[in-house]
Structure 1
Amino acid sequence: MRLRAGATLAAGLMAALPGCAVVPEAAGRAQPVQAPPAAVAVAPAPAPRPAAPAPFRYEGQRIQGGMLVGTAPAGVTSLTFDGEPIVLAPDSRFLIAFDRDAGPTARLVARFADGREQVETLSVAPRAWQIERLPTLPKVSQPSAEFQRRRPPELAQIAAARKQETGAQGWSQRFQWPATGRISGRFGSQRIYAGEPGSYHSGVDVAKPTGAPVTAPADGVVILAADSPFTLEGNLLMLDHGMGLSSAFLHLSRIDVRPGQRIRQGEVIGAVGSTGRATGPHLHWGMVWKGRRLDPMLIAGPMPG
């Protein structure tokens, strides 16, 4: 009786202990049994962070009339610039530029092979253009019938030339001045006649004597060499530099190259003159990228010497 009473007391004490249970043995003694361990909560793994945008690299100036040569990140398969497709070179470089009247921002969209899309918003710095106001001088009179007859075919030739794709690689070079001397006309300057704006100056003028050589500012292909003087441009020569970029050389006294000819940077292509609508001998150098007019001074840098 004493042993049974002791066993009963021990069993009661064991039952009171947390995590223990009491089961009887065959001999009548109680044995403690360990309860299974409680489940441990495991925190979920943190979600992977989205990959940081791959960087683009640019050379040039983000400014009205400026041009950028960019390098796309690895994996980019296509680009658009303000909604327009942009060609990627095999080394992932590309060309974009900003018109004289470009807005404050431009949008570059890159698409990757894995389906990702990356948007770059580029700030475009404004410029203070040289504006000359002539409040008492009326705008130029109406063009003559002869001008109206000749001008449309000339413009058609210029437009067709700019549509040519030649595969030229001059766009990737550092441009040089086709002639050096005093700058007599700046890109973007404009006259306001009695409150009515005239056309802005679409290139840069370099004052030189008639016959001074004109050289190619970069590699290119001749896309237009006028057979006879145009009404405004005179003897007009145009070079394609590739990627939609072209140069135009106006008022030449002679043209030394022919359409389709491949030209190397620094090669003589013509001579300064005063043909067309010009008040004296000078070279007018204009640049256009996909319809956007650019400032050659931003692309070639300051005039040497």
Structure 2
Amino acid sequence: MHRRHALALAGGGLAALTIRQAARAISAIAQPIEIQSPMALTQGGWLRARAMPGQVKLDGIGLPVADDGLFFTAFDRDAPPRMVLRYEPGDGGVPFELPLTIAPRAWAIEHVDTPLRPPSAGPDASFMARRKGELAQIKAARARETGAQGWRQAMVRPARGRFSGRFGSQRVYQGQPGAYHSGLDIAGAAGTPYVAPASGTVVLAATAPFTLEGHLLLLDHGMGLCSAFLHAAQLLVAEGDSVQQGQPLGLIGQTGRATGPHLHWSLTWRGSRLDPQLFLAPAG
């Protein structure tokens, strides 16, 4: 219920109340969390919502809230079926809880009758030393808070082409699960530009190819939401650049560990891995 409706229901009685008493009366009538649409209450999905002044938590973890009350939250690929949004008013009033039902997904699971990795195929010491440094750069970049506002936007496709790999798919090797696919693969010819699905700030631009990701680009959209683009032939932006939705970021390639030219696009939010397809605008 909107604030003006709450005032109408409370009627003239509000005139005799103090400002704090009136605020509490409104809070008792109006729902303090208003879910925005569209949203995806499913594993790998997300939602945006608006809250009245106060603190918002998801399963006990505090969420940042913008000055206009809008906030963002999301659900990992393996999120539980039930989560709770909790609103705590700043004036010490009664908290409000909004239970969320997170729909399960039928992931594409392939069972393979071979071992996950032969005993002799483990990574060598030089690879592990280099990889440790790369992972540290990725972790530090994703932890940066740039104030970007792309999290407010409906996203657009970063590149045209066939979806050649879907988020969440996984192989199980003789009963031992391998890592699931963490993003969306878009097939494309080498040298084809890809663009920003939403506005943001470049927090990592690997001019020297990483071992697995190749020319990796990380784009912070704000509120903890971050895009990663892998395997580029060339990057067209640099670390620290502010980019707008639809702006070219790089050229599709097959650097790093890739069997052919394609764009791997992944999304994370505060450590949770998300399904990029669920963020695309209806026309995307």
Q: Quick one: which of 43, 55, 60 aligns to 1:64? A: 43
Q: Quick one: which of 157, 163, 167 aligns to 1:183? A: 163
Query: Aligned letter for 1:103?
Result: P
Distance 1:197 1:171 in 2: 32
Q: Deviations over 1:165-191 (max 9, x none)?
A: 000000001100100110000000000
**How far apart are residue 114 of structure 1 and its match?**
2.8
Q: Quick one: which of 89, 110, 130 aligns to 1:132? A: 110
SS in 2 for 1:298: helix
**How far apart are residue 121 of structure 1 and its match?**
1.3
Structure whose alpha-carbon radius of gyration is higher: 1
**How far apart are residue 146 of structure 1 and its match?**
2.5
Distance 1:133 1:113 in 2: 51
SS in 2 for 1:109: strand
**Greater mean alpha carbon deviation, residues 107-116 or residues 280-289:** 107-116
SS in 2 for 1:154: helix
CA pair 142-84 structure 1, distance change in 2 beyond 3 A: same
Distance 1:51 1:82 in 2: 22
Query: Aligned letter for 1:190?
Result: Q
Query: Aligned letter for 2:42?
Result: I
Q: Quick one: which of 123, 131, 146 aligns to 1:143? A: 123
Query: Pairwise mapping of residues 13-162 of structure 1 onto structure 2 (< 5 A)?
Result: 51-52=28-29, 54=31, 55-59=33-37, 60-72=39-51, 74=52, 76-116=53-93, 117-139=95-117, 141-162=121-142
Q: Quick one: which of 196, 204, 218 aligns to 2:176? A: 196
Gaps of 5+ in 2: 1-24
Query: Aligned letter for 2:117?
Result: K
SS in 1 for 2:180: coil
1:241 and 1:247 in contact (8 A); partners too: yes
Aligned to 1:18: none
CA pair 126-163 structure 1, distance change in 2 beyond 3 A: same
**How far apart are residue 83 of structure 1 and its match?**
1.8
Distance 2:28 2:274 in 1: 36
Aligned to 1:219: 199
Higher helix fraction (1 or 2): 2
Aligned to 2:235: 255
1:177 and 1:303 in contact (8 A); partners too: no
Distance 1:227 1:192 in 2: 34
Q: Deviations over 1:116-136 (max 9, x none)?
A: 211111110000100011113
Q: Quick one: which of 254, 265, 273 aligns to 1:285? A: 265
Query: Aligned letter for 2:57?
Result: T
**How far apart are residue 52 of structure 1 and its match?**
4.2
Q: Does 1:228 align with 2:213?
A: no
**TM-score normalised per structure 2:** 0.86
Distance 2:245 2:262 in 1: 21
Q: Percent identity?
A: 50
Distance 1:189 1:181 in 2: 19
**How far apart are residue 84 of structure 1 and its match?**
1.6
How many residues are paired up?
A: 254
**How far apart are residue 297 of structure 1 and its match?**
0.2
Aligned to 2:253: 273
Query: Aligned letter for 2:106?
Result: A
Distance 1:137 1:159 in 2: 30
2:110 and 2:172 in contact (8 A); partners too: yes
SS in 2 for 1:279: coil
Cα root mean square deviation, aligned: 1.7
Distance 1:187 1:205 in 2: 8
2:230 and 2:264 in contact (8 A); partners too: yes
Query: Aligned letter for 2:99?
Result: T
Distance 2:143 2:227 in 1: 13
2:207 and 2:235 in contact (8 A); partners too: no
2:154 and 2:281 in contact (8 A); partners too: no
Gaps of 5+ in 1: 1-47
